[in-house]
Amino acid sequence: MTFKQKYTILLILAGLSALAPFSIDMYLPAFPAIAKGLHTDIAQVTLSLTSYFIGISIGQLFYGPVIDKFGRKKPLLFGLFLFIAASIGCALAPSIYWLITMRVVLALGGCVGMVVSRAVVRDLFPVSEIAKIFSILMLIVGVAPILAPSIGGWVLAALGWRSIFYVLTLIGCILVASVYFYLPESKKETTTEPLNFKNSIRDYKIVLFDKAFVFYAFAGSIAMAGMFAYISGSPFAFMKYFGLTETQYGWIFGTNAMGYIAGSQLNRLLLKRMTSLQIISLAGGILCIVALSMISLLQLQLFTPGLLILHIFTFLFCLGILVPNSTAMALAPFTENAGSASALIGFLQMVCGAILSVVVSALHDGTLLPMVSGMALAGVSAFVIILRLNMTVKKGKITTEPIAIPVENKKL
């Protein structure tokens, strides 16, 4: 693989991974306009966001066995065409119920990019390079939450809210062309067995019975849930509790997102001197310290906007270091079932994040307690899992060598 081919592939994979953040964040500034245009209220429009998260969670589980059976490109192109059709459906929505339904379909199509991009990285690159590759992808993916709301706001002001979904349609078309012409097929279609529910469940059981996958996937997913708690609680925390303006909140959100990106890029340097497990342990330890500090400041009522921003920035910075390594190590044991493993990682991240996000919203009491407690719970819990992981590795019960599933086991 030449240098040009490598970075062309990485750019395409980054675009596929960023499809979901763009689909979420681009239309957020249009909520009031959508509510007015469809003669409803913002609470109903918010359900279109909830429906998207449901679709993206379920969809990833569907695509895992599919891309292991039929290869990466055919399911990917199918999902992208579904995404394009759903984007047009959202743009033409005559009612809020139609929009909510189309957002589910949009998620079912768009989430294929997340699953396939992780699986392709596992297919094309050696285990020793996977964490570095994920760090490169996160540089581009991390920019999406920063740019998407601004782009959505510009499109909204110039052309109206429906045009936002036409922009998503255009992005989908560009990705289809890029995948078709420039993304190589990294896994041939399997013809030895049919794709059915029984075989899919078997593949997921194989993944879940691997100790390395369970430890690394849950450590990363639970840590990521802290970011969902922050996203859910930060609008109230900064704009209502501290009384900052929407513009100021936008700058704060972008600054914290830069922390996530900076952490992912520092990770590339750390990997030259440390193993992924050492890096995960270091990042997990700092996450735990940040979590305990946040709880202490909350109890002492010493939080200021600056202190809160500093803690959130550090939290996301550590996530940028931890997540590429936890994802890489969770995928490392698999050669045959990389698609199913990738799907389960995405599913766990979304489910853990959604649960903590709902808890933060449900416990809203007019203070910083729900958001801070949610982030702290994620940080401490992830660190506890990482401690158990280190103990298990020292006992020799975990191997990170790639495993191939014997043919006779596939026919059970």
CB 105 within 8 A of CB 86: yes
According to CATH, the superfamily of the domain at 196-412 is: MFS general substrate transporter like domains (1.20.1250.20)
pLDDT given for residue 399 in this prediction? 64
Could you tell me the pTM of the whole model?
0.83
Could you give the 3-state DSSP secondary structure of residue 404? coil
pLDDT given for residue 360 in this prediction? 84
Q: What is the block-wise mean pLDDT of the chain (412 residues), using blocks of 10 residues?
A: 82 90 84 89 82 87 88 93 96 94 94 91 86 83 76 89 95 95 84 76 88 94 91 83 82 86 90 92 96 95 93 95 92 84 90 85 86 95 96 80 42 36
pLDDT given for residue 380 in this prediction? 96
DSSP string, 118-168: HHHHHHHS-HHHHHHHHHHHHHHHTTHHHHHHHHHHHHHHHH-THHHHHHH
pLDDT given for residue 408 in this prediction? 38
Q: Dihedral sign for Cα 406, 410, 411, 412, please.
A: positive
Q: Residue 39 — left, alpha, or beta (φ > 0 → left; ψ -120 to 50 → alpha)?
A: left
- Same CATH topology for 1-182 and 196-412: the answer is yes
The full set of domain ranges for the chain reads 1-182, 196-412
Specify the CATH class of 1-182 in words: mainly alpha
